[in-house]
Amino acid sequence: MDLKTNTIAGWALGAGMIALGSTIAGTMIFEGHRPEKMGYAIEGVEAEGGAGGAPEVAIASLLPTADVGKGAEVFKKCAACHTVAQGGANGIGPNLYGTLGEAIAQGKAGYAFSDALKGVGGKWTFDAMNAWLTSPRKFANGTKMTFAGLSNPEDRANVIAYLNSQGSNLPLPAAPAAGVAPAEEAGGNVAAAANAVEEDTRGETGDIANTGTPASGAPSVDPEAARKGARQ
């Protein structure tokens, strides 16, 4: 070999040794440090479990405004396996007439429920039906029902209202009064509000503490000024 060939071979050998050394060093550095999240995010694709992990909406807050007509439309997804009319026959799934309020996995003209659903116990309350419609497999692991569930809470509320109208007619939760927050949302501050009312010297219920605003509509009086006047 001439000098030029030897030089090229030397450079190639050196480059190979550098590449091999880099690979070994990289392996030593990152070995045992598996990334917490594999892959990379794709813009516009939601993570499993909902957008941004948003909290689930309580079904009781949706039922007062649920639409029975829309529920009948959503129920068409279930019609391949279930009838809902009074006296309807069982099919792949049981007839669902009058289901809300009934015992879970009992009755229905002797329908053969799975042991998994029989083991749940209790009754078909609104909350139980919501959980079942969300994911039958999570509600009763081993159920024969292969339906994946309804991911939209409003769809579930509408279907529940529709089922309730078919022979059950349980009272739906009342809608909260406009502008009035439930006690839980107000921090359970009922006791604090009650403590703001004080008794006057006659043992009668007085006005709101430290406001000087009489409940009778009489002119307001500054309590501090009244006490000073009493001492003079």
What pLDDT, on the 0 to 100 scale, is given for residue 182? 46
Of 46 and 103, the one with more pLDDT: 103
- Distance, in Å, from the CA atom of 66 to the CA atom of 69, rounded to the nearest integer, reads 9
| Percentage above 70 pLDDT, the chain | 52
State the average pLDDT over residues 141-159: 95
Q: Is-contact 154 62, C-beta < 8 A?
A: yes
Q: Name the average pLDDT for the chain.
A: 72
pLDDT greater than 90 at residue 123: yes
The region of weakest confidence among 35-39, 40-44, 95-99 is: 40-44
- Distance, in Å, from the CA atom of 63 to the CA atom of 172, rounded to the nearest integer, reads 7
- Distance, in Å, from the CA atom of 102 to the CA atom of 123, rounded to the nearest integer, reads 5
What pLDDT, on the 0 to 100 scale, is given for residue 175? 78
- Distance, in Å, from the CA atom of 37 to the CA atom of 89, rounded to the nearest integer, reads 50
Q: Which two tokens stand for residue 19?
A: 């590449």
Give whichever of 2-11, 46-55, 106-115, 203-212 has the largest mean pLDDT.
106-115
57-165: CATH number: 1.10.760.10
pLDDT greater than 70 at residue 76: yes
Per the listing, tokens 């006296």 go with: 87
Cα angle 221-223-224, degrees, rounded to a multiple of 5: 125
What pLDDT, on the 0 to 100 scale, is given for residue 56? 73
What pLDDT, on the 0 to 100 scale, is given for residue 219? 47
Q: Which amino acid is at 123?
A: K
State the average pLDDT over residues 147-152: 94
Q: Is-contact 129 100, C-beta < 8 A?
A: yes
